Structure 1
Amino acid sequence: MAGIKRGDDGKIAGLYDLDKTLGRGHFAVVKLARHVFTGEKVAVKVIDKTKLDTVATGHLFQEVRCMKLVQHPNIVRLYEVIDTQTKLYLILELGDGGDMFDYIMKHEEGLTEELAKKYFAQIVHAISYCHRLHVVHRDLKPENVVFFEKQGLVKLTDFGFSNKFQPGKKLTTSCGSLAYSAPEILLGDEYDAPAVDIWSLGVILFMLVCGQPPFQEANDSETLTMIMDCKYTVPAHVSNACKDLINRMLQRDPKRRASLEEIESHAWLQGVDPSPATKFNTPLVSHKNLSEEEHNSIIQRMVLGDIADRELNNDIINIIIILLLLLSLSYQAYAVS
């Protein structure tokens, strides 16, 4: 992709029109964008490669590798990667309902447990899938859970600290966000990869039902002390079953933390569908017959965009339609299975 350039008019590779900024990080900006031909809205993570040091570059490569590997209804899709001399563009599935942190902050005493179950079960389902592929997220927090309201789903995003792991072999890299990080990561110890995600799941569930983090003090030093001492108080309005599940995840000793299998089979989560996305009868990409007017309009835009000539573009559209149909059928088969 080395020859692809970004135009001065805010286009990426001639395919995406950049729009407003959705968020910012140390090395990246996330922008809203539209596909030039289809009009589909996407999120584009724009990474300035000139600002990356060796460690950040390593994290970036890990993020791309892991996001290409994980393909799950409750994980934000990485559609494509566009590489230029100075920028890297990650074209991502766009949520329509904001992130879970902002949602929780609107509920001072937390969500109802029925609603919390619905969202938490989907997060657990996604992490269970990741761990089966030997991918650890390492930065689980409500800010990295995005709502897709039209689909009725939440999806994990931001795999910037993710990595592959080998069962039984410990990792050493300290990463993540203080309030959600497991004690062993903050100590700089070697750690069991799945266990650190379990701890973060405990923090997320606490926030869902309580409306605030379990370890959030006036300064980082006090927060660190509370995490190390594993001191937190679950409000009285939370059910005993939910308290038990939180307590089983927020264990100081990683070996005493609940496994994902134990979480999924816990009494509090019984009766909730952990994966409503797999019950969809309609595919993620729907096929429809193009009218002559629509067909000619697309051809015209492709010609104006200097993407081959009219005759070749007709062939391209026909191929795209066939591919979309095959994708629709394959997704329907996946949903049924």
Structure 2
Amino acid sequence: MAPEIIEVPIMQVPAQMQISLKRRSDEGYNSDNSEQSENGISPTKIRKIDQGDEASKDEIEKEGETFKAKYHVRKVFYNSANGVIYTGFRKSDMTEVCIKQVPKSRVTNFANLEGRRFPLEFVMHVNAAKASHGVVKIYDWFERKTSYVLVMERPKDSVDLFDLSAKYGSLKEDPAKIIFHQIVKICKSLSSSSVFHRDIKDENILVDTETLEVKLIDFGCATEFDRNRVYSSVSGTPEFFPPEVFTENVYKAEPTTVWSLGTLLHVLIYGDIPFHNTEDIVQNKISSKNSSKKLSESCENLLKKMMSPKSEDRPSFDEILAHPWLQDTFPKF
């Protein structure tokens, strides 16, 4: 018998950041200082966003029936920071899907999705998927009595980069280039569509093990991308945060994403994160166990630039894509 999507909250978001950086945390991290919302937009700012209309009780009941008619839920896949991911399939053609359920009690930011009020996460994901085919596709979204449901594609033969690194360790530069080039292009496309993912990390990157095609997932930390805005609330994964988050408590979208990309490239090349506590991030003290592998001069140069302690010294997305290390001919997906 297929499991039902349970209409209850799943887990609590941690109240404070852990100083020791832990790998593969299902809880994630949000710091709102009690005055900001989970996705980093203050209540006064969020009111400026068109949130759409609230659904009636009849509409919600109808959507629940539609969901059950269209999709079969198999089992829990994993817990995310703000909900639960289930595996399943679309009944009409047996297409494999992932189904994310987000309890309403966990949603603080809303936006307009085709005239209706839905979590900002859903709107950011829909916009991102329209901007780049490197983002996991959205098939459907529904409102239920106590939760919101997002139905997404489930890429075949894919694993996340965390599991890939855990299984195979560091990658050679050529496959790392193919993967990394796609991720930078995705981030650039998202910024052009006003989507700031804020949680670029190995666990949120799916890779086809045969073709190395990349898919970005999980927009639970996403907010609007504004190149000139100074952000003051934090959402994402501390081990991928730049030093200014810890030293200044503020950050900008593109330099922060570039730092996260640098951390991600380090994981691809060395098989591990460069820093294991916040003090090391602030002091730019890269783990000594990662210093033995010999890299090309071009790769070392790009890594150094992306992980510059000063945000203004980091390259832009365009400058990364124009860097000599990324000037090979890449597959087109």
Contact 2:64–2:143 (8 Å) recurs in 1 = no
Mapped to 2, the partners of 1:188 and 1:33 lie a distance apart of 44
Shift of 1:26: 4.1
Is residue 34 of structure 1 aligned with residue 89 of structure 2?
Answer: yes
**CA offset digits 1:47-93 (Å, max 9, x no partner):** 1224x1637x79x8221111111221211112221111112111011
**CA offset digits 1:215-266 (Å, max 9, x no partner):** 12xxxxxx00000111115433222211111111111111001111111011
What stretches of structure 2 of length at least 5 have no aligned partner? 1-58, 112-117
**CA offset digits 1:288-327 (Å, max 9, x no partner):** xxxxxxxxxxxxxxxxxxxxxxxxxxxxxxxxxxxxxxxx
Which structure would you say has the larger Rg? Answer: 1
The residue aligned with 1:276 is 332
Mapped to 1, the partners of 2:198 and 2:231 lie a distance apart of 11
The structure showing larger relative contact order (alpha-carbon pairs under 8 Å, at least 6 residues apart) is 2
The residue aligned with 2:168 is 107
The residue aligned with 1:21 is 76
Contact 1:161–1:176 (8 Å) recurs in 2 = yes
SS at match of 1:43: strand
Aligned length: 263
The residue aligned with 1:69 is 127
Shift of 1:14: 1.4
- For 1:109-128, what aligned pairs fall within 5 Å after superposition? 110-128=170-188
SS at match of 1:45: strand
Give the percent of matched residue pairs that are identical in Structure 1 and Structure 2: 25
| Aligned partner (choices 261, 270, 274) of residue 201 of structure 1 | 261
Shift of 1:5: 5.7
Shift of 1:176: 1.0
- For 1:1-337, what aligned pairs fall within 5 Å after superposition? 1-4=59-62, 6=64, 12-50=67-105, 52=106, 54=108, 61-70=119-128, 71=130, 72-96=132-156, 97-108=158-169, 110-149=170-209, 152-187=212-247, 189-216=249-276, 223-232=277-286, 233=288, 234-273=291-330, 276-277=332-333
Contact 2:79–2:85 (8 Å) recurs in 1 = yes
Mapped to 1, the partners of 2:108 and 2:141 lie a distance apart of 20
Shift of 1:150: 6.5
Q: Which has the higher strand share?
A: 2
Mapped to 1, the partners of 2:139 and 2:210 lie a distance apart of 19
Contact 2:178–2:212 (8 Å) recurs in 1 = no
The residue aligned with 1:327 is none
Letter in 1 for 2:251: Y
Contact 2:180–2:265 (8 Å) recurs in 1 = yes
SS at match of 2:235: coil
SS at match of 1:204: helix
Letter in 1 for 2:71: Y
TM-score normalised to structure 2 length: 0.74
Mapped to 1, the partners of 2:246 and 2:272 lie a distance apart of 21
Mapped to 2, the partners of 1:45 and 1:252 lie a distance apart of 36
Going from structure 1 to structure 2, the CA distance change for 1:27 and 1:161 (only over 3 Å counts) comes to: closer
Contact 1:145–1:156 (8 Å) recurs in 2 = yes
What stretches of structure 1 of length at least 5 have no aligned partner? 217-222, 278-337
Q: C-alpha root-mean-square deviation of aligned residues, in Å?
A: 2.1
Letter in 2 for 1:231: K
Shift of 1:127: 0.4
Contact 2:86–2:98 (8 Å) recurs in 1 = yes
